[in-house]
Amino acid sequence: MATLTVLGCSGGIGAGLRTTSFLLQQGSLIDAGTGVGDLTLAQMIAIDRVFLTHSHLDHIAMLPLLVDSVGALRKTPLTVFALPETCRALRQHVFNWEIWPDFTQIPDLLNPFLRLQEFHPGDVLQIEPGLTLRVLPAEHTVPAVAFHLDSGAGSLVFSGDTTVQQQFWDLVNGIENLRHLLIETAFSVKERRLAEISKHLSPDMLAGELAKLRIPANIHITHLKPGESDLTMHQAIQHVPQHTLHMLQAGQQIHF
């Protein structure tokens, strides 16, 4: 069994709202949105790996501050696993000595506080004995991925930010021990055009996507936009009567 703790799952910020981040067991983060800021220093020091779905700010916002807070307190580098395009974006736009220091060179190149490690769709990474992370393809406005976590006892899939697609579903339908599917629904029905332009999902689009799911799973809705989260969740339930949908909540723990 493994545990995923929801640190943040909102499409925005505000009192009580945190952007996308999950703690996997004790030592790994899935995305590094503002939810990371709620961890204690000891919890942050214990994080060895950060797996990023894509480069957007709501998924990386706390990474620069995390590495600055714990770098000198850790014995090994914090390793970020991401697509080559995401690593390039982090180097070019964040750790560029203008927005933030380049912690892949601090304190020196041999023993940096931060390491960027590229992955590709299809890669399977061992997180700890018996727990793997598989990189799945995802469609978004920037290169993006979804993740398949498998503890042996069960699997959990996180869509990341995504829109209408097929390859992702073909791979998800092949997961024999799927327990949980975390999928975004960023916009309400009336903002479907915005969802299409920004390559997210609205409830009516979500219905089309979940029609491609051929195996049972607990479905959790994430990335709801502040101000219309209840409306969007209500619409999602109406559009997807064949499944019981759950609204993902910060602080929630999912065991799989």
Shortest distance (Å) from residue 248 CB to Zn ion = 13
The residue within the footprint of Zn ion, chosen from 56, 134, 148, 180 (CB under 5 A), is 56
Give the C-alpha separation, 204 to 214, whole Å. Answer: 18
The site map against Zn ion for 15-54 (x = CB under 5 A) is ----------------------------------------
209 part of the interface to Zn ion, by CB under 5 A:
no
Question: Based on CB atoms, which residue is closest to Zn ion, 21 or 235?
Answer: 21
Q: For the residues of 24-53, what is the DSSP string, one character each?
A: ETTTEEEEE-GGGGGS-HHHHHT--EEE-S
Question: Based on CB atoms, which residue is closest to Zn ion, 103 or 158?
Answer: 158
Check: CB of residue 45 under 8 Å from CB of residue 36.
no
Stretch that binds Zn ion, among 58-66, 128-136, 150-158, 163-171 (CB under 5 A): 58-66
Question: Based on CB atoms, which residue is closest to Zn ion, 161 or 209?
Answer: 161
Residue 75, CA distances (Å) to 62, 111, 240 in order:
20, 9, 48
Check: CB of residue 146 under 8 Å from CB of residue 137.
yes
58 part of the interface to Zn ion, by CB under 5 A:
yes
**2: closest CA among 171, 218, 248, 253?**
253
Shortest distance (Å) from residue 54 CB to Zn ion = 6
Peptide bond preceding 107: is omega within 30 degrees of 0, i.e. cis? Answer: yes
199 part of the interface to Zn ion, by CB under 5 A:
no
**136: closest CA among 118, 152, 158?**
158
Stretch that binds Zn ion, among 43-51, 76-84, 161-169, 213-221 (CB under 5 A): 161-169
Stretch that binds Zn ion, among 24-32, 56-64, 121-129, 164-172 (CB under 5 A): 56-64
Give the C-alpha separation, 186 to 169, whole Å. Answer: 19
The residue within the footprint of Zn ion, chosen from 161, 202, 221, 239 (CB under 5 A), is 161
Query: Which stretches of the chain bind Zn ion, using CB under 5 A?
Result: 56, 58, 161
